[in-house]
C-alpha cells in the first residue's frame, strides 16, 4: 500500500515538473476527470433578443436550427461590418471538426469557411492525409469577419465562442483540430502560445483536441507546411486508432 501511494506521488510530481517546464506557473490539465459531472458547456447569454438572436438557441438540437436562430446576430460590432454570417460547413455527423479563427475576405463574400487560398491549402492537406472536405466539419471561432483580417479581439471571442461550443455540443465529434492559436486558446481558456500547445493531445468536455498551425500561417511561412501536414496525419491516426 505504502509503495502504491509513493508511486502515485512520484507520478504526480513528475507531471507537475513537466507542466512547469512547458507552461511556467500555468498548469494545463490534458484530461478532464471522468468523475466530473457532465454539464452542457454552453451557458445562456443575457440580452440575446436585443442582439438579433433567438434566446432559445441554447436549446438547439441541430446545426440548422442553431444557424437559423443566430444568423442575424449583432452581439459584437462585427455583425455590422460583415457581408455574410459564416456558420460552418460539412458533415453534421462528422467524427472530426476543424476549427479556424475567423472568416477572411473570401469567406465573408461567400458565407463559407476556408474557401480562399488558405482553404485551398487545407483541402489539399486534408486530401493528402485521406480526408474529404465534405466528410468533415469546418467552422471558425468567430462567425463574422474582422475588418482587414485583423486578429479577433478578446471581446469578440467572448461574444461569439458560445456558438462554437454549441456547434461542438451538437456534433459531438471524437476529435477537434484547432487551426491557429485562437481556437485552442479559446477552448482551453489559456494564453499559452501555440508553440507550447501544438503536438499535445488535450481533452475538451470528453472530446480529444489537438492544435496545429492555421493554413494561412503555413502559406506565409512555408516551413510550417510540413508540421501542419504531420499534425493532420496524426489527427487521422488518433481518429482511427483502435
Residues 6+ apart with CB under 8 A from 123: 114, 133
Cβ at position 69, least distance to ligand SF4 in Å: 11
Cβ at position 121, least distance to ligand SF4 in Å: 24
Cβ at position 98, least distance to ligand SF4 in Å: 18
Q: Which is nearer to ligand SF4, 112 or 231 (CB)?
A: 112
Burial class from Cβ neighbours inside 10 Å (0-12, 13-18, 19+) for residue 210 reads buried
Q: Which is nearer to ligand SF4, 70 or 211 (CB)?
A: 70
Q: Under DSSP, is residue 175 helix (H, G, I), strand (E, B) or coil?
A: strand
Per CB under 6 A, residues contacting ligand SF4 are: 73-76, 78-79, 142-144, 156, 159-160
Q: Which is nearer to ligand SF4, 160 or 184 (CB)?
A: 160
Cell 442575424 locates to 72
Q: Which is nearer to ligand SF4, 37 or 154 (CB)?
A: 154
Residues 6+ apart with CB under 8 A from 28: 19, 188, 190, 192, 197, 202
Cβ at position 12, least distance to ligand SF4 in Å: 40
Cβ at position 111, least distance to ligand SF4 in Å: 12
What pairs with residue 202 in β-bridges? 209
Residue 237, φ and ψ in degrees, nearest 5? -65, -45
Q: Which is nearer to ligand SF4, 119 or 146 (CB)?
A: 146
Cβ at position 142, least distance to ligand SF4 in Å: 5
Beta-strand pair 137-140/89-90: antiparallel
Q: Please tell me the distance from the alpha carbon of residue 12 to that of residue 1, in angstroms, as a whole number.
A: 17
Q: Which is nearer to ligand SF4, 102 or 121 (CB)?
A: 102
Burial class from Cβ neighbours inside 10 Å (0-12, 13-18, 19+) for residue 70 reads buried
Amino acid at each position: 500500500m505504502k509503495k502504491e501511494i509513493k508511486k502515485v506521488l512520484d507520478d504526480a510530481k513528475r507531471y507537475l515538473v513537466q507542466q512547469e517546464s512547458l507552461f511556467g506557473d500555468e498548469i494545463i490539465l490534458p484530461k478532464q476527470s471522468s468523475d466530473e459531472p457532465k454539464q452542457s458547456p454552453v451557458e445562456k447569454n443575457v440580452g440575446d433578443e436585443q442582439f438579433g438572436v433567438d434566446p432559445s438557441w441554447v436549446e438547439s438540437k441541430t446545426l440548422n436550427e442553431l444557424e437559423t436562430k443566430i444568423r442575424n446576430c449583432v452581439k459584437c460590432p462585427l455583425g455590422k461590418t460583415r457581408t455574410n454570417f459564416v456558420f460552418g460547413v460539412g458533415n453534421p455527423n462528422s467524427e472530426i471538426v476543424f476549427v479556424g479563427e475567423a472568416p477572411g475576405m473570401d469567406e465573408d463574400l461567400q458565407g463559407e469557411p476556408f474557401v480562399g487560398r488558405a482553404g485551398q491549402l487545407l483541402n489539399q492537406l486534408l486530401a493528402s492525409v485521406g480526408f474529404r472536405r465534405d466528410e468533415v466539419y469546418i467552422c471558425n471561432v468567430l462567425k463574422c469577419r474582422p475588418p482587414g483580417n485583423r486578429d479577433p479581439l478578446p471581446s469578440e471571442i467572448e461574444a461569439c465562442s458560445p456558438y462554437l461550443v454549441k456547434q461542438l455540443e451538437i456534433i459531438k465529434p471524437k476529435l477537434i483540430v484547432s487551426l491557429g492559436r485562437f481556437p485552442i486558446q479559446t477552448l482551453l481558456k489559456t494564453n499559452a502560445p501555440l508553440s507550447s500547445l501544438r503536438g499535445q493531445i488535450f481533452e475538451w468536455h470528453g472530446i480529444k483536441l489537438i492544435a496545429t498551425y492555421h493554413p494561412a500561417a503555413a502559406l506565409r511561412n512555408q516551413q510550417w507546411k510540413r508540421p501542419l501536414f504531420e499534425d493532420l496525419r496524426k489527427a487521422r491516426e488518433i481518429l482511427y486508432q483502435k
